Structures are given as C-alpha cells and as structure tokens.
A and B are shown apart, each in its own frame.
Chain A
Amino acid sequence: MSGVSLQNVTKSYGSLTVIPDLSLDIAEGEFVVFVGPSGCGKSTTLRMIAGLEKVSGGQIFIGGRDVTWERPKSRDIAMVFQSYALYPHMNVADNMSFALRLAGTPKSEINERVRRAADMLELTDYLHRKPRDLSGGQRQRVAMGRSIVRDAYCFLFDEPLSNLDAKLRASMRTELALLHKQLERTMVYVTHDQIEAMTMADRIVIMKDGVIQQVGTPKDVYNTPVNTFVATFIGSPSMTLLPGELSEQSGSMRIHGSGFELPIPDRLKSRAGASPTKAVTMGMRPEHFAAEARTEAFAPVNLEVKVAEYIGSSQFLAANLGGQDVTAAVEVGPEADLLGDGQYYFDTSRLYLFDRETGQAL
C-alpha cells in the first residue's frame, strides 16, 4: 500500500526502550497528527520516519517503498522543525532552494518553484532577506516553503508552531490546513497541543510511553475515547474523572458516588450491564455542564464553586462535587455575573464510563 506505513517499529537506546512495538498505516494524502505528553515517543517516531533516527526493529514504508535503511535524502520527505532550522547565512530564496540546488535541478525550474512557493506563502517580498531579518511567523513560513519547494511525497512536521505566540499559531493552523488541501500530500505532524491535533488532523494518533493509545478522527477520539488517558488528554479543559458504583434499580441503570446519582445513558446501558465490575470511573466533560436543564437528559448536580473564571461566552468553574474536584464550563449570557454555588445540570447523555481498574472505556 502507498502512504506511510510503520510495521512493528521498535526503538531503544541501550537498555531503555522508548518505542516497544508500533504499527500504523497512514493513507496517501492523509493528515495524521501524533499527539501526547512530552517523552511519549511521538518525536522519536517522526524522526524514525525521517531517517534521522535509526529503528531498532521493524520496517518503515513510504510510498510503498521499504525505506527502513534508506538515508533521509532518498526517502522523498520534507521536514519542518520546531526551531525552523533555517540556514542563517542564506537568504530566503537560497534557503528554499537549497535541496534543489544540491540535487542539481535546472536553474529555471528552481526559480519557478521558489516563486510559486513564495507566492503561496506570501513571501515574495522577502526572498532576498536573511532569516534574522524576519519575524517568527515569517521564518516559520520559510521553513514550510523549503518543504513545499521540494514537492516531497511526505511532509513531516515536528511541533512547528510551538515557538509562535497564540494568535499567530491559530492563523498558521488555518494556513497549514489550507496547504494540505492544496498540496494533497501525506502529512505527519507531531505536537503536544491537542487543539492543534483536533483542528488539523484527518486522524489523530494519541501516544503514551511509546504506545499508541488510540487512532481515530478528531470526532472519534473526543466522543469515544478508549481509555481515561485519551479521555483526559483530548478536550480542554480536561474531563473530570470521578469514582462511582453502578447499580440497577427496577430496570434502570444508575451510577452513584459521593455527591451524585445519575442515570446511565442508553448508549452505554448494555455495556454497563455487561461490565464485570460495578466499580467504575465516570467521566464528565466540563462543556456538558449547564446552568439550566435543556433536555430530559440533564440531571441536577450541586456544585460548590471555588473559583469562577470569566472566559466570555462561558465561565470555567473549579468546583467541588461531594468532596471531589470537578471542572465545569457553563455557558452564560452577556449579563451574567461570576457564578457561585448552587444547582447546575449535567447532560447525562454525554457521560463516559471507564473500568476503574484498567481505565478502559466501557
């Protein structure tokens, strides 16, 4: 198959194993984002795809070709680094054309390709400037231009937006998504920022300790996280996890714990019923709290608000529910003051259940 394929890839440094066994197929033209906390092996995986890091075992295919032992330059890849990694002594045009010049591409073609990439990235006016005379965002665009000019089969991004300020990061996200649409190239992107992952990815790969936890579309990983790690990693603010007990009373499944007793939604009923254990962890996303009941699924909960943060359209509440910390994001109207203690409502149809022992979703 084409695209990028990792088959039973392992990586260890001496006795330290970073990637125990990783397999993943990335379709041609797909935008896949690796996400996870620092040290989870996502960058190492990307660097192995790039050939900057040798695999300890397994195989890597790019475009259907086994490149496991190929050098980076013969893998038909381009890479964008977090620090931009521009050549400081070359101007923008020379930075972008370096690979082509090394490959001996005819001058006219180089100029044409550089011009086209510069147009696409709005860098035409800066072609003769040195990187030190550019802003962070412009440098980042030059780094992308360097990849675009190469017209590689696969684009690799190693936290490319982490050095930018929040506003620029948001606009670069959009540009990157647009770029992917225009180029229709396979893109593998590494970040620790789940928002970047959610906004840009066709599919998200969530890693922890060198092991893939879940692979899925942003919708999948948000709505049906396979375990508590994915559940708390995806979504901002993170999901609150509370211990609870399952019980069945006159045919209706309920979960009760300290300070709450909530009905189990239909979508989870059969699986909750089949659960071997009654000791579960309940997950509540902050955004599924509300100030009033909107549907029948909304159940009242009493929150003791410790801190309310005004965000604009909503308020983040750091609250206490039966002696445990929960986070709620409650939508408010323009006139609302900071929210205080009282009865709030939780949308039980969006409730999550996990096996308390294993952390796996029910």
Chain B
Amino acid sequence: MTVLTQSRKPRFAAETMTPYTFITPAILVILGGLLYPVFMAFYLSFYDWEIGRDLAKAPFMGVDNFVRMVQDPQVWEVLWVTLRFGFWTITIEMTLGVALALLLEKPIRGASFFRTIFILPLMVSPVVVGLIWRYLFDARIGWINYYLGAFFGIEPQVWLGDADLAFFAIVFTDIWQWTPFIFIIVIAGLQALPSEVVEASTIDGANWYQQVFLVKLPMIKSILVIALLMRLIDVFRGLEVMLIMTGGGPGRATELLSLHIYNRAFDTQQLGYASAISVLLILIVFAISTAILTMANPMKSKSDV
C-alpha cells in the first residue's frame, strides 16, 4: 500500500490537493466553531472587557481574573452545586436508564410502544422543558401541588422558592429529560450483544442477575462509558432549564457553573472574568473526560464483541 503510493509520483499538484479540498470544510468548521472560541476564551480571560468596548482598548489584567476566581466563594459555591447536581442526576439516570433498558430489552408485547413513549422527553427542546416544569412546579397553579394535595393531602410547597426543593426540582427535571438518552443507548447496546454469548451463560447456569451483572453489562461497558461521558459534559454545559425554571435561585441553590458564567458575562458584563471561569470549566471537563477514558477506553475494546 505505502509502496504503491510512494512509487507513483503525482503528475499534477491539483491531484495531490484533491483529498485536502474534501477535508477543508471540516477543518474550517472545527477551527472556526471549536478552536477559535476556546482560544478567545483563553485570550479574554486575561483582559477586562465588556460588550460595546473595543477589545483592543480593554485593559490587560494578567492573571488577576484567575486569582480573583480562586478566591471567589461564589465560584466554589456554584461548583459544589454543579458537582452535587451531576452526582444525583447521573447516578439516578444511569441506574434508571439501564434498568428500563433491561426490562424492555425482550420483545414483549407493547415494548416498541413503551420505547417510543420513553424517548419522547428527548425530543423536547430544553427551553420548552424548562417552561413546562416551571409551570408544573408552580406553587399556586402547578399540577404537582394540586395532585400532591388531592391524592396525598400534602400541603402546597413553594417548589422553586425553597433552596432544597428547587434543587430537587431541577434534578427531577433533568432525570425526566435525560434518562431516555441512557435508555436508548443502552438498549441499542443490549440488542447488539451476540445472542449466543447470552445463551452460553444460561447454559453455564447464570441466573438473571448474574447474567446482567457478570455478562451483559460488562460487555456493553464501552457504551456505558460513552453515555456517562456525554452526560457529564452535558452537566457542565447545560443551563437553559435552570435559567428558565429558577434563574439559578433561590440564592445560588440551582446555579450551575455554566449558568454562573452566563450570568457573569451577560448580566454583570464581566466578560473577562466570565472567560476565566470558562477556562476553569474547560479544564474540569477535560480532566474528567481524560480520567474516564484512561480508566475505560471505549476505542480500545471495540474488538471485544
């Protein structure tokens, strides 16, 4: 192969350029859409800039923004909120998603109907999800208070006005929207498992639990890792639902890191400082992703099945 390409010298420069013309658009998109913003975030984090001011005239701050960030209790507070939010949502979503996938894996009657129902939340735009649940959780006119009162006699709660309840509400909403994502990925993985291996474990005497935990789940490990990774990144990225449901409040009880960055950048016009926090976010996501991929690299084990 290599010998062939080496021995045949290209006659026209245009010919050698042909492959590059095909990948140029992709490179441009990556450069313009991914690398440029990341670079600008780094760049801006060294300046004190606000919208409307000429970037060239923005005062250079050195590492002041970063020093300020490390000492800023608000940043640590929202980081803690984000980690707690990530822990609860991802733990519950993974558990529920995998459990549902295992239940609906077999072609039982109505399985395809339930599968479609389960993935409906995925099709709703996050902004709309925020609006729907804001009204459902509404203290006065919300369905949740109404039905809790009607069936369980529970007093109306100010869901989005209490720090703990509001946190519960956004966790609940996130689980509602994103469990289907885990479900659909895991069920695809389970159905791609070679049936003979599962049958072999039946003959080896594995019961249902042993089959799930010793054979099926280990075999779709790479799929689980990818799902986990995507959810983790989403946790650090997503802000629409919180922005609309609670705006981050009460206090900073539901203010995730990305929402905090948004508020800093556009409410208080501290774009340089917001960029510095963005850099922190990028580093955290990068560190977590690297850690997960090192522990369980899905690319490495693709020849497993």
Residues of A within 8 A of B (CB): 50-52, 71-73, 77-79, 81-83, 85-89, 98-99, 102-103, 130, 132, 146, 150
Contacts and interface: CB of A to CB of B under 8 A. Distances in A.
Contacts of B141: none
A110 to B, nearest CB: 13
- Judged by DSSP, the binding face of B is helix
B23 interface: no
A180 B154 CA distance: 71
A249 B206 CA distance: 71
B304 A88 contact: yes
A139 to B, nearest CB: 12
B73 to A, nearest CB: 45
B304 A83 contact: no
Given A85-B200, A98-B204, 4 more contacts: A79-B199, A83-B196, A88-B305, A130-B304
30 contacts: A50-B203, A51-B203, A52-B203, A73-B203, A73-B204, A73-B205, A79-B199, A79-B203, A81-B196, A81-B199, A81-B200, A83-B194, A83-B197, A86-B197, A86-B200, A87-B201, A87-B218, A88-B219, A89-B219, A89-B221, A89-B304, A98-B201, A99-B203, A99-B204, A102-B204, A102-B205, A102-B206, A130-B304, A132-B304, A146-B200
A89 B218 contact: yes
A132 B300 CA distance: 11
Interface in B278-305: 301, 303-305
Nearest to A90: B218
Interface of B: 194, 196-197, 199-206, 210, 214-215, 218-219, 221, 301, 303-305
A351 B18 CA distance: 69
A13 to B, nearest CB: 13
Contact of B194 (A52, A79, A85, A150): A85
A188 to B, nearest CB: 13
A130 B210 CA distance: 20
B214 to A, nearest CB: 8
A77 B200 CA distance: 11
A50 B204 CA distance: 11
Contact of A78 (B197, B199, B203, B305): B203
B205 A85 contact: no
Nearest to B198: A85
Contacts of B305: 88
A97 to B, nearest CB: 10
Given A102-B210, A132-B303, A132-B304, A85 B197 contact: yes
Nearest to A98: B204
Contacts of B221: 89
A71 B203 CA distance: 8
B205 to A, nearest CB: 4
Nearest to B302: A132
A73 B196 contact: no
Nearest to B304: A88
A87 B303 CA distance: 12
A235 B30 CA distance: 63
A183 B62 CA distance: 79
A72 B201 CA distance: 10
Nearest to A156: B203
A104 B303 CA distance: 31
A89 B205 CA distance: 18
The 5 closest A-B pairs by CB, nearest first: A73-B205, A99-B204, A85-B196, A88-B304, A85-B200
Contacts of A83: 194, 196-197
Contacts of B194: 83, 85
Contacts of A85: 194, 196-197, 199-200
Contacts of A132: 303-304
Contacts of B214: 98
B222 to A, nearest CB: 10
A150 B305 CA distance: 24
Nearest to A75: B203
Contacts of A71: 202
B203 A103 contact: no
A78 B200 CA distance: 9
A87 B197 contact: yes
Contacts of B215: 87
Contacts of B206: 73, 98, 102
B288 to A, nearest CB: 24
B271 to A, nearest CB: 48
Nearest to B220: A89
A332 B64 CA distance: 95
Contacts of A73: 202-206
Contacts of B304: 88-89, 130, 132
A28 B130 CA distance: 69
Nearest to B210: A102
A129 B215 CA distance: 18
Nearest to A158: B196
Contacts of B203: 50-52, 72-73, 77-79, 99
A72 B194 CA distance: 18
A73 B208 CA distance: 12
B13 to A, nearest CB: 44
A79 B218 contact: no
